[in-house]
Structure 1
Amino acid sequence: MFESFYIYIMSDLLMALVTFLMGLYFYKSKGKAANLLSGYNRRSGEERKNFDEDSMCCCYGKRMMVMAIPFVAGAVIDVFWEGIGCALAWGVWIILFILLLVKRTKTEKLK
């Protein structure tokens, strides 16, 4: 039977993989992934000309790839303390996500 700590480890590693791959897609998209950003995709073409979509996607991609690290660390912690690593990983991820949204709000303000 599948032990519960395997579920924690697999969910941590799956979330790390998904987050890393999304970040890699943003990083390598050359600005095309900007359409996936909520709110930004509703701006007019004239408003979008004020932004460097390539550097914006590159920056967001790097941050998303870093956001995978807590889940890898959480999987390692779950080997020793079942469930603690998963909870810590989600807590750190939520903090990093909020920081990403704050940075995005600051950088996307129209000039």
Structure 2
Amino acid sequence: MFCVLFDMGMAAIMFIIGILFYKSNGKATNFLSGYNMRSTEERKKYDEIQMCKDYGKRMMYMAIPFLIGAVIDIQFVGIGCLIAWGLWLVLFAFLLIERHKRER
């Protein structure tokens, strides 16, 4: 039962953070690693509203593996949690790769 609750909690956290980023109108860019360290001139090159919407969507997508993990944990305790974290790490790696390509 703990694994199901843990997966649901992680899904809720990811989804709520995603919603907050999406609805922030660009104000959440200060929470993006590295972006808050850029100069004002460099920040003008980016569409902050669209950037927050993109990251918000990405965070909401990162909630899906935890929902899948919760469903799997109902039948196979602990396995769903491992699968959820594995899928989340893959999504996180794709995020880092895409971000690296954008910053070139």
Q: Give the structure 1 partner of residue 95 of structure 2.
A: 100
Separation in 1, partners of 2:46, 2:101? 12
Structure 1's unaligned 5+ residue stretches are 1-5
Distance 2:15 2:97 in 1: 20
Give, in angstroms, the shift of residue 93 of structure 1: 0.2
Q: Secondary structure at the match of 1:50?
A: coil
AA of the residue aligned to 2:47: D
Cα deviation, residue 107, structure 1: 2.1
Q: Percent identity?
A: 57
Q: Which blocks of at least 5 consecutive residues in structure 2 are unaligned? A: none
Quick one: which amino acid aligns to residue 68 of structure 2? Answer: A
Normalising by the residue count of structure 2, what TM-score does the alignment of the two structures yield?
A: 0.96
1:47 aligns with 2:42: yes
Moved over 3 A (4+): none
1:74 to 56, 69, 90: 69
TM-score (norm 1): 0.90
Per-residue deviation at 1:105? 2.0
Rate the CA distance shift 1:30–1:108 in 2: closer, same or farther, 3 A.
Answer: farther
* TM-fit CA distance, 1:43: 0.4
Q: Mean Cα displacement is larger for which, 27-36 or 100-109?
A: 100-109
Query: Structure 1 CA distance, aligned partners of 2:37 and 2:5?
Result: 36
Q: Please give the root-mean-square deviation of Cα atoms over the aligned residues, in Å.
A: 0.9
Q: Structure 2 residue aligned with 1:26, among 16, 21, 25?
A: 21
Which structure has the larger Rg over C-alpha atoms? 1
Equivalent residues of 1:51, 1:108 under 8 A apart: no
Structure 2 residue 10 is the aligned partner of structure 1 residue 11: no
